[in-house]
Amino acid sequence: MLRVLFVVLALCAAVHAQGANRGKKESGDERQVQKIRDLTRELRDLFSRSPSGIPRVSDMKRIFAEIAKVNHPHAVRTLVAFAEAAEYAPAREDLLRILAELPNADETVVGQLMRAHIAPDDPARRIAREYLLEQALRRRRDEWPLDLFNAAGAIEDKFLALQVMGRIESDRTLECALRLAKDRSWSPDPTGLISCGTIAASVDRFEGPAAARLLLLLARDPRFTAADASKIRDATRTWADTDLRTYVDLADLTDRDPLKRAETATFLGAVPFECARAPLVRVAMNRSETPEVRAAAATALGGLRVAREDLVEQLKPLLSDPEPRVRAGAIAGVGRLNVIQALEAIVSMLDGPYGGEARAALSRLTGLPPETDWKAWLRKGK
């Protein structure tokens, strides 16, 4: 009987303790809500006390910061309501910055507010953009970057949104990258953010024909630069061999337009794939091809990541080609290989009919005067 009595007493004590704790929590919540109400009243009093009817931004910002310190969901809802109200517009940027930095704020509520401020003429656009992209990276969800990409905003917003979509591997990345590649309204900027290379880097986690077609489209874009080539190379570095072969197959070296064939050959050298070697050699050796295309292929061969000593042997016949443009392309290709055999191949031309071209090429490669005794220089280098 005593045991039962002890159990009952223990249960009663536990229930009483829970009630006391609940009462303390409710009391604490009430105090926090009341503090928010008091601060809200103080904020409204600023308007009535101001001679112009518009309080100083610094005073409003001070009260916003005090409300943000109150650890209660009602504080966030209150600040969001202020941000949406016209009378607080002068301090809206400060208010959005406070909300963006709140550690435990409801992301959905704050995110909806930020999405309303991504228009290009909105003074708070940069704050809203940074918040949306940071949260997208953390949550690995693409709806906010997509909103930013699709908004009628600045072109840099679209590039930043695309970068985030690529990092979180959004299924919409390739689609958005293709839209940017086809958009002719932008031109590269000095920072490198707005460039074909940025588009390429955003799809470095995507493989296969769709990504290959996009990268080839970028390579043929007149806005494509040398700096972009390295980014495209990095974007394809982890691709499987089968995907690289698909990529090279899509690089149309048989297009009817010789200019396009030359551009394709040049691009394959800028983004050096070993599997591009065979088609480039075929084009360079094909005497029925135009000299411009053959020269582009010969130069491109010098940029491939392959056995370079072996490539020198393949390019040697082109050093004595009767077509000057092909010889120039072969010399440029051999010069890019940066191996001793390449210099030997050019030095071997000195006693032939194209010795002048060889001297000029050696001078460009080494920075020495053309009249240098190149054979002695080479022996000394060995």
One digit per residue, pLDDT tens: the chain, 382 residues? Answer: 545 444 444 555 554 545 545 544 456 688 888 998 999 899 898 888 888 888 899 999 999 999 989 888 888 899 999 988 988 889 999 999 998 888 878 888 888 888 888 887 888 888 988 988 998 988 898 899 998 899 877 899 999 999 999 999 999 999 999 999 999 999 999 888 999 999 998 988 887 778 877 887 887 788 888 778 777 777 776 665 556 666 667 677 877 889 888 888 887 777 667 778 888 999 999 999 999 999 999 998 887 766 566 788 888 888 889 999 998 898 888 887 766 787 888 888 888 888 888 888 888 878 889 889 988 888 886 5
Cα distances (angstroms) measured from residue 341 to each of 5, 210, 282, 312: 100, 39, 22, 7
- Is residue 312 within 8 Å of 337, Cβ to Cβ? yes
Q: Is residue 323 part of a domain?
A: yes
Burial bucket for residue 168 (CB in 10 Å: 0-12, 13-18, 19+): middle
Burial bucket for residue 115 (CB in 10 Å: 0-12, 13-18, 19+): middle
- Domains held by the chain: number: 1
pTM over 0.75: no
| Spatial separation of the C-alpha atoms in residues 281 and 154, rounded to whole Å | 44
Residue-level pLDDT at 24: 47
- Is residue 162 within 8 Å of 202, Cβ to Cβ? yes
Residues of the domain holding 366: 271-382
Q: Is residue 202 part of a domain?
A: no
**Helix (H, G, I), strand (E, B), or coil: what is residue 36?**
helix
Q: Is residue 278 part of a domain?
A: yes
Centre a 10 Å sphere on the Cβ of residue 96 and count the other Cβ atoms it contains: 25
Centre a 10 Å sphere on the Cβ of residue 365 and count the other Cβ atoms it contains: 17
Q: Is residue 47 part of a domain?
A: no
Q: Is residue 227 part of a domain?
A: no
Residue-level pLDDT at 378: 83
Centre a 10 Å sphere on the Cβ of residue 194 and count the other Cβ atoms it contains: 21
Residue-level pLDDT at 267: 77
CATH of the domain at 349: 1.25.10
Q: What's the length of the chain?
A: 382
Largest CA distance in the chain: 121
Q: Is residue 15 part of a domain?
A: no
| Spatial separation of the C-alpha atoms in residues 46 and 55, rounded to whole Å | 6
Q: Is residue 349 part of a domain?
A: yes
In eight-state DSSP terms, residue 124 is: T
Q: Is residue 266 part of a domain?
A: no
- Is residue 197 within 8 Å of 187, Cβ to Cβ? no
**Helix (H, G, I), strand (E, B), or coil: what is residue 73?**
helix
- Is residue 359 within 8 Å of 350, Cβ to Cβ? yes
Residue-level pLDDT at 246: 67
